[in-house]
Amino acid sequence: MRNFNFFERVSRAYNDHPTLFRLVALSTIAISGGSIVYAEANIGSGGRAVVDPTKKKKVVVLGTGWAGMSFLKNLNNPSYEVEVVSPRNYFAFTPLLPSVTCGTVEGRSIVEPIRNIIGKKKYDARYWEAECYKIDPVEKKVYCRTAAELDGKKEFSVDYDYLVIAMGARVNTFNTPGVEENCHFLKEVEEAQNIRKNLIDSFEKASLPNLSEEDRKRILHFVVVGGGPTGVEFAAQLHDFVNDDLVKLYPKVKDHVKITLLEATDHILNMFDKRITAFAEGKFQRDGIDVKLGSMVVKVTDKEISTKARSNGETFSMPYGLCLWSTGIGPRPVIKEFMQQIGQGNRRALATDEWLRVEGYNNIYALGDCATINQRKVMEDISAIFSKADKDKSGTLTVKEFKEVIADICERYPQVELYLKKKQMRDIVDLLKEVKGDAAKETIEVSIEEFKSALSQVDSQMKNLPATAQVANQQGAYLAKCFNRTEECEQNPEGPIRFRGEGRHRFHPFRYRHLGQFAPLGGEQTAAQLPGDLVSIGHSSQWLWYSVYASKQVSWRTRALVVSDWFRRFIFGRDSSRI
Amino acid sequence: MRNFNFFERVSRAYNDHPTLFRLVALSTIAISGGSIVYAEANIGSGGRAVVDPTKKKKVVVLGTGWAGMSFLKNLNNPSYEVEVVSPRNYFAFTPLLPSVTCGTVEGRSIVEPIRNIIGKKKYDARYWEAECYKIDPVEKKVYCRTAAELDGKKEFSVDYDYLVIAMGARVNTFNTPGVEENCHFLKEVEEAQNIRKNLIDSFEKASLPNLSEEDRKRILHFVVVGGGPTGVEFAAQLHDFVNDDLVKLYPKVKDHVKITLLEATDHILNMFDKRITAFAEGKFQRDGIDVKLGSMVVKVTDKEISTKARSNGETFSMPYGLCLWSTGIGPRPVIKEFMQQIGQGNRRALATDEWLRVEGYNNIYALGDCATINQRKVMEDISAIFSKADKDKSGTLTVKEFKEVIADICERYPQVELYLKKKQMRDIVDLLKEVKGDAAKETIEVSIEEFKSALSQVDSQMKNLPATAQVANQQGAYLAKCFNRTEECEQNPEGPIRFRGEGRHRFHPFRYRHLGQFAPLGGEQTAAQLPGDLVSIGHSSQWLWYSVYASKQVSWRTRALVVSDWFRRFIFGRDSSRI
């Protein structure tokens, strides 16, 4: 081999790995700026594996949100060809949307082009910028529509062997009149940017001459409907934006600003620990954010919001300037139509089994906010479980027989484990003991009736997963891993026993691992609910939050952009140009 | 005094000068990242001087572009109160707009809120986000309209003592049919962002399945109309964006991309030196940018542009996907109406005198793209000049008499100096010599007829100033300095002799100092035309361009943002998310 001198080496390194090289340049800065940025770079990839193209199965992915992105990022099996259909050619890191509304972070810093993600993968992938408006599970086709007319038409269809539905959901207005027309939503980057422009505009409008005090107050009354994490974070960010930056630029109108948070239930952040809820309500009170609990919005006009108190049915009207509606989600029209088509018309989201397959369709998967896992009940399968466990067909189950299937039962029916945990029992045999009394364990034998009675309460522990980015992300990764190991698991199934069939399931069912949740409360205070009932409130969790969010960005690019946006804000404050 | 320990001192410093403190933190990075960012910070200001408010004259400024911003930034006289009316609550650094179209720089990095600029000044200032739609010079009022309806109406009026019209101009379509509806313009930040989205969208559209080759080619045909600096820079930036970044993400469509530049005259960049024009045309040819000279656009439809050759009148139609129209400027409707009102209806911009006063109005100033200086001709005033110079009223001018007014003539009529320069004469006496023959200088005496004949050609050297940011910027600064020194110059006028009146003009007339001009040509090559006929082409001027643009930003904030955007692009390339 030749001897390289330093410059030759550097130049070779640069030509072979330009991105890596630039990253080194970057990390010098990132590290000196605080070492929040870490790990998980996924540089380059190089050659695609050679697979006979005629044998390749086509996977069509609908959507480029959390679930879709996570699936595409984790898929690694060159025996599939992938087509992605989505009206958004990028993935957006949605937890930072409330930060975009106040200009703490740039809209474009939290997005990553989907072509950057799929361009580096080993499988063949194509992306179509279009919206799917119809799914035909019989013909195995999806019908798509582009924004622009091409060759005189806007529609085209795509065939699939496997379909992955990850289209997310839309905001649920509960058919409240006037919401669509007058309220802002916060699900897309464009919506966040639009809220920011409208915010600044409110301050400009309220500063105009020849305006009554009443009108000034109305324009600067910001209302948030829905006390979930998005609504709470928006209210907190808005409060900071107003107090840190806007009061300096609009000194004459600052006293007119009012922020109101309307929540229909008895508490804000009610999916969080009670300590967090209490802290958040207290902090908002100290900050002067008016939290109105138990008030349901019944009507919105261009200048007024009407609410009804849940306690006594009293109605109340308040003038407002800008309203963010973030109360929950509902199915998109195309999903709704598909649900009707496959007999799920009365559900709120697409029902899947524990392997994320849409019920009744082995080749259609649904994940993220548009889907919900319909966990099978123990009581539905109780006879099948009993007869599968009763190996000697004696009509009774011995403890030994039972122990052999315990692991499979717990895997197939996770509610069993939750129930045991709730009852503080060590294992499932304790359940039987409860029925049979305190006889010596090993000699217990139970009949089918006793078995049923022992497990009768178990299904009460079934819970739907929350519609969060975390769930969607884990589901996408889970499904990609299944696709990656199809051939392998076909031969050596790794899932639990099929109680109602023969053999074993190919894959382990999807299991959600809750990694904690943040609720930024403004003023550099964040509440964090961590796994295992840990609760952290204050500055420390603010930094934890920053570092987790920075590390969770899909690419090194977005990571660096988000961190540098925080840095910019720290130095210069938030910008107030209406752009 | 107390002894402070280190931490107390730092904390005191932080509390007293938070911005300064943060800047120190920033400069550590800015300097280590390359010392392009320099000077001109204008930190804080503190108390406003106390002037009797009843005596304060009200200056109303229309517009927050280059001229308006420069006026507001340089004004420093607390005896005025200022009201700013503009639909844009920010100043935009327009030379970087072409960079925004390709995502090299973020739209929000090149804007500075106007409230940040006026908030730091010594004079009282207010800003109204509204558009002026009518100027009434008799009642001394401007009528403004806001975007939103307030108290049932959108209009309000503002009184003024002095009016500064700096509303810029709009794109001139020369009434070409279809331009307004189908072409993009590049005068506002929103327009640049919109072009960026449409660019990415073109690539997504052209990638869709079931599309004819012909349509793919049409969609990826980008046409630029107008070979001025904006059009040329956009074409160059677009070429780089496509070749550096987009071809990697859209490998299947890259061969369909075509960029065409249409120019009605015989050369692109015809306000630049011939060497630059030739270099630019050569570079574009090598880059594959199709430059069509001498072709005028006569019609634009949604899919086709029709041109007519200037040479032989032949017409030609080309299908296109996206078209940028940047051919020149015309007056805004409100300016047009005002011009008709004051008898300037047939001009292309508001005519002012050399002190930027609208002709006939001592309290109305116009600057920037909406105005043009109507330089007074020597021949109009020739008798007045003669009689003012002929101190002894002898009917002839001696050289001595003449020399006494030479400086005033040259200041009042800058065309005299230009003419001498062109004729390569040392001073004005040489002009007289030309008329009288080569007699001994000191004994020359000229009659009025001889004087007229000597100066008869001088007015041919009058030139209109170009409609550039540089001119507007200098005019704003000039006018602010006049306002700053009103009281002083009222007492001690510093301008030239009033040839048609008594005494001296209060101020020196406005004189434009050309500081050079850049034309970025893509591929890290920039042509620069510097003062004194210096021409620089290549990488070196690229860096010069970067550093000048960085230093010309209005604030430390935008300076840092723009530099960090360049840095981001260097590391990560340009982003292709359609957002």
Subunit contact A210:B113, Cβ cutoff 8 A: no
Subunit contact A113:B201, Cβ cutoff 8 A: no
Give me the pLDDT at residue B194, please.
Answer: 94
pLDDT tens, position by position, B66-78: 999 999 999 999 9
Subunit contact B108:A106, Cβ cutoff 8 A: yes
Compute CA distances A212 → A203, A209, A216, A217, whole Å.
14, 9, 6, 9
Subunit contact A571:B22, Cβ cutoff 8 A: yes
**Greatest Cα pair distance in chain A:** 91
Lowest mean pLDDT among A63-77, B129-143, B505-519: B505-519
Give A477 to chain B, closest Cα distance, Å.
Answer: 23
Q: Which residues contact B69 (CB under 8 A, 6 or more apart)?
A: B91, B112, B114, B117, B476, B554
Give me the pLDDT at residue A407, please.
Answer: 87
pLDDT tens, position by position, B93-103: 999 999 999 98
Integer Cα distance of A298 and A328 in angstroms: 15
Give B173 to chain A, closest Cα distance, Å.
Answer: 26
Give me the pLDDT at residue A347, please.
Answer: 87
Strands A57-62 and A80-86 come out as parallel
Give me the pLDDT at residue A29, please.
Answer: 37
- Best mutation target, B204, B563, B569, to test chain A (most A CBs within 10 A): B204
Integer Cα distance of A420 and A434 in angstroms: 12
Subunit contact A22:B571, Cβ cutoff 8 A: yes
Give A550 to chain B, closest Cα distance, Å.
Answer: 17
> At residue B23, what are phi and psi to the nearest 5 degrees?
-65, -35
Give me the pLDDT at residue A54, please.
Answer: 66
With beta carbons less than 8 A apart as the criterion, state whether B88 and A578 touch. Answer: yes
The pLDDT > 70 percentage for chain B reads: 89
Subunit contact A564:B568, Cβ cutoff 8 A: yes
The residue of chain A nearest to residue B27, with distances taken between CA atoms, is A571
The residue of chain B nearest to residue A30, with distances taken between CA atoms, is B29
With beta carbons less than 8 A apart as the criterion, state whether A299 and A182 touch. Answer: no
Give me the pLDDT at residue A573, please.
Answer: 76
Q: Does A158 touch chain B (CB under 8 A)?
A: yes
Residue B112 with chain A: CB contacts under 8 Å: 577
Subunit contact B89:A209, Cβ cutoff 8 A: no
The residue of chain A nearest to residue B578, with distances taken between CA atoms, is A89
Give A249 to chain B, closest Cα distance, Å.
Answer: 6
- Three-state SS across A133-199? EEEECCCCEEEEEEEEEECCEEEEEEECCEEEECCCCEECCCCCCCHHHHCECCCCHHHHHHHHHHH
Q: Which residues contact A302 (CB under 8 A, 6 or more apart)?
A: A178, A181, A182
With beta carbons less than 8 A apart as the criterion, state whether A56 and A81 touch. Answer: yes
Compute CA distances A326 → A104, A229, A472, B391, B414, whole Å.
20, 9, 19, 84, 65
Q: Does B389 touch chain A (CB under 8 A)?
A: no
Give me the pLDDT at residue A295, please.
Answer: 92
The residue of chain B nearest to residue A248, with distances taken between CA atoms, is B119
Domains of chain A with bracketed CATH: 1-43+516-571 (no CATH), 57-169+331-375+465-513 (3.50.50.100), 172-329 (3.50.50.100), 377-461 (1.10.238)
Identify the CA nearest to A25 among candidates A14, A16, A36, A15.
Answer: A14
Q: Which residues contact B493 (CB under 8 A, 6 or more apart)?
A: B503, B504, B505, B506, B507
pLDDT tens, position by position, A24-55: 434 433 333 333 322 333 333 333 445 565 67
Identify the CA nearest to B400 among candidates B446, B364, B362.
Answer: B446
Q: Does B108 touch chain A (CB under 8 A)?
A: yes
Q: Does A272 touch chain B (CB under 8 A)?
A: no
Q: Does B571 touch chain A (CB under 8 A)?
A: yes
The pLDDT > 90 percentage for chain B reads: 54
Which of A23, A146, A211 is the closest to B205 by Cβ? Answer: A146
Subunit contact A88:B578, Cβ cutoff 8 A: yes
Subunit contact B147:A201, Cβ cutoff 8 A: yes
Q: Does B558 touch chain A (CB under 8 A)?
A: no
pLDDT tens, position by position, B389-431: 888 888 888 888 888 888 899 899 988 888 888 888 777 777 7
Give B391 to chain A, closest Cα distance, Å.
Answer: 56
With beta carbons less than 8 A apart as the criterion, state whether B522 and B65 touch. Answer: no
Which of B22, B111, B119 is the closest to A577 by Cβ? Answer: B111
- Whether B361 shows a pLDDT value over 70: the answer reads yes
Residues 63-102 of B with CB under 8 A from A: 88-90
Q: Does A195 touch chain B (CB under 8 A)?
A: no
Give me the pLDDT at residue A91, please.
Answer: 94
Integer Cα distance of B344 and B338 in angstroms: 8
Give A129 to chain B, closest Cα distance, Å.
Answer: 6
- Which regions of chain A are under pLDDT 70? 1-54, 150-151, 436-442
Subunit contact A113:B249, Cβ cutoff 8 A: yes
Subunit contact B204:A129, Cβ cutoff 8 A: yes
The residue of chain A nearest to residue B106, with distances taken between CA atoms, is A108
Which of A205, A207, A210 is the closest to B148 by Cβ? Answer: A205
**A-B contacts (CB, under 8 Å):** 162
Integer Cα distance of B329 and A415 in angstroms: 72
- Residue B409 tokens, joined: 């003539």
Residue B119 with chain A: CB contacts under 8 Å: 248-249
Give me the pLDDT at residue A183, please.
Answer: 97
Q: Which residue has the higher pLDDT, A502 or B36?
A: A502
Q: Which residue has the higher pLDDT, B57 or A524?
A: B57
Q: Which residue has the higher pLDDT, B46 or B114?
A: B114
- Share the mean pLDDT of chain B: 85
> How many CA atoms, within 13 angstroms, populate the side-chain half-sphere of residue B577?
21
Angle in degrees, CA B223, B229, B231, rounded to 5: 10
Integer Cα distance of B520 and B280 in angstroms: 9
Strands B534-538 and A141-150 come out as unpaired
Which of B107, B560, B570 is the closest to A579 by Cβ? Answer: B107
Residues 198-257 of B with CB under 8 A from A: 200-201, 204-205, 207-212, 215, 219, 248-250
pLDDT (average), residues B107-131: 91
Residue B564 with chain A: CB contacts under 8 Å: 564, 568
Integer Cα distance of A72 and A85 in angstroms: 12
Give B35 to chain A, closest Cα distance, Å.
Answer: 16
Q: Does B459 touch chain A (CB under 8 A)?
A: no
Give me the pLDDT at residue B270, please.
Answer: 87
Long-range contacts of A151-155 (CB under 8 A, 24+ apart): A151/B210, A151/B211, A151/B212, A151/B215
Identify the CA nearest to A170 among candidates A131, A115, A138, A211.
Answer: A131
Subunit contact B248:A564, Cβ cutoff 8 A: no
Give B369 to chain A, closest Cα distance, Å.
Answer: 23
Subunit contact B579:A90, Cβ cutoff 8 A: yes
- Residue A191 tokens, joined: 């919506």
Give B145 to chain A, closest Cα distance, Å.
Answer: 11
Q: Does B182 touch chain A (CB under 8 A)?
A: no
Q: Does A41 touch chain B (CB under 8 A)?
A: no
Residue A211 with chain B: CB contacts under 8 Å: 150-151
The residue of chain A nearest to residue B212, with distances taken between CA atoms, is A151
